Structure 1
């Protein structure tokens, strides 16, 4: 496995692999790799000949009061995990390499797709993600890129970006990796206290309960969702959102229609830790 930090070097490594007729799967990460990330890498190995992983904590997707400075960083452990999983190249740029030292004159705006869910709660979040992923796609030019379903709004926005910016890249959404008690794996789970960790799976259980009611015939789940929010609050969660959203435009949906696909998604805080989760409702 090779670790490179410059754009010239990662392009050279990828070009060498492609000259051998190899296909490239790319897994972008912010490091602090856990079993969920490793599941993305394993899926990438199934989809392509070689796997490239990036490790970069992207500052422009963090708000002014978010956890950029305290975000977990463990480069040595991450590189060891990548090597153990058979990754070919790890790209580890710094801010100067990704964004340059001077003034930036261009930015990316997103319409509609980021009005709700995480985009509604974190202004500028998805603009920062689209900017860095667009850069990484231009630098690495993979055949396939692997993302996790846990960040379903991100996946849908990036899928639209790929279409509108004409990237010749196939995006693949990997299933959510979960702990034995159902908690969606996340680097930020490290922030949970022991007591909060015991409570944390409650968000997924709330989503499962709503899913069951919908599949049993509830087509206007508003009151049901409100009841689950109240239950979560009583258990110690501070709700951000819990709702059903359109798969196409990420807008809240009041009445569900058979034959359609929706996203049942929630976000809530336990202490200082923000948890997100979702279930795809293919009706």
Structure 2
């Protein structure tokens, strides 16, 4: 497995792959790899000849009071996991390799970032698009795999691919969960033992709401309000809990047959932010 620290190194490795006629699958990550990330790698392996994984904690997607400095960094462990999964190359650059000291050009997002995670994290998706755009230009993958847990991210990146004419096929992998339903996340490491016992409550809440919607509830406001109160009573602080139109990412007040929706929630449990979602097609 090649481990590349610079842009020139990874470009040289990928140029060699492509000279051999190999297709490149790509899994961009911030490291602290868990079974969810490994499932993305496995899908990329199925869809391409060689897999490249990037490991880079992107400062541009963290707000001033967020956890950039404390975000888990476990490079050697991540490299071991990548090698075990048969990854061909890992791109693990330093900040100075990716960003100049001063940036003159930025990417803006309109409408698609107003709700869900974008509503409470200004600049978050602009930072994600900046790094993903850079990585696509550096790696030039044929296929890139992202997880459904970050569904708003996937849909916004998909829009960027269309509007910027990136020649890459995007795939969205299902959410990988613990046995009790909690969506796997690198930030789950922040949970205390007591919080970890409570954390699957978000998944159970979404499961209940989904069942009610599939059972005929088409104006979910009262249902959602009640479930927010239930979560708060268990110790969660609500960022959002709502049903969103999959195309526009706007809250859906009335649900219609033959439409696709995202039932999504983000909550705080102590110092840990948890997100989860279900896709619902009526």
Q: Given the two structures, how large is their TM-score scaled by the length of structure 1?
A: 0.99
1:237 aligned residue = 236
How far did residue 50 of structure 1 move? Answer: 0.4
Q: How far apart are the structure 2 equivalents of 1:138 and 1:86?
A: 24
Q: How far apart are the structure 2 equivalents of 1:167 and 1:248?
A: 20
After TM superposition, the structure 1 = structure 2 runs for residues 23-62 of structure 1, keeping only pairs within 5 Å, are 23-62=23-62
Q: Is the counterpart of residue 137 in structure 1 residue 122 in structure 2?
A: no
Q: How far apart are the structure 2 equivalents of 1:39 and 1:185?
A: 11
After TM superposition, the structure 1 = structure 2 runs for residues 113-262 of structure 1, keeping only pairs within 5 Å, are 113-262=112-261
Query: Unmatched 5+ residue regions in structure 1?
Result: none
How far did residue 57 of structure 1 move? Answer: 0.1
Q: How far apart are the structure 2 equivalents of 1:104 and 1:192?
A: 35
Deviation by residue 1:210-236 (Cα, 9 ceiling, x = unmatched): 000000000000000010000000001
**CA RMSD of superposed structures (Å):** 0.5
Q: How far apart are the structure 2 equivalents of 1:256 and 1:278?
A: 17
Q: Is the counterpart of residue 3 in structure 1 residue 6 in structure 2?
A: no
Q: How far apart are the structure 1 equivalents of 2:43 and 2:197?
A: 29
Q: How far apart are the structure 1 equivalents of 2:249 and 2:10?
A: 34
1:79 aligned residue = 79
How far did residue 282 of structure 1 move? Answer: 1.0
Q: Given the two structures, how large is their TM-score scaled by the length of structure 2?
A: 0.99
The alignment of Structure 1 onto Structure 2 pairs a total of residues equal to 282
Query: Unmatched 5+ residue regions in structure 2?
Result: none
> 4+ residue stretches of structure 1 with deviation over 2 A?
none
Q: How far apart are the structure 1 equivalents of 2:258 and 2:281?
A: 7
2:96 aligned residue = 96
Deviation by residue 1:67-117 (Cα, 9 ceiling, x = unmatched): 00000000010000000000000000111110123x211001100000000
Q: Is the counterpart of residue 267 in structure 1 residue 266 in structure 2?
A: yes
Deviation by residue 1:24-81 (Cα, 9 ceiling, x = unmatched): 0000000000010011101111111100000000001000000000000000100000
Q: How far apart are the structure 2 equivalents of 1:158 and 1:121?
A: 19
1:262 aligned counterpart, secondary structure: strand
Q: How far apart are the structure 2 equivalents of 1:104 and 1:185?
A: 34
Q: How far apart are the structure 1 equivalents of 2:231 and 2:103?
A: 43
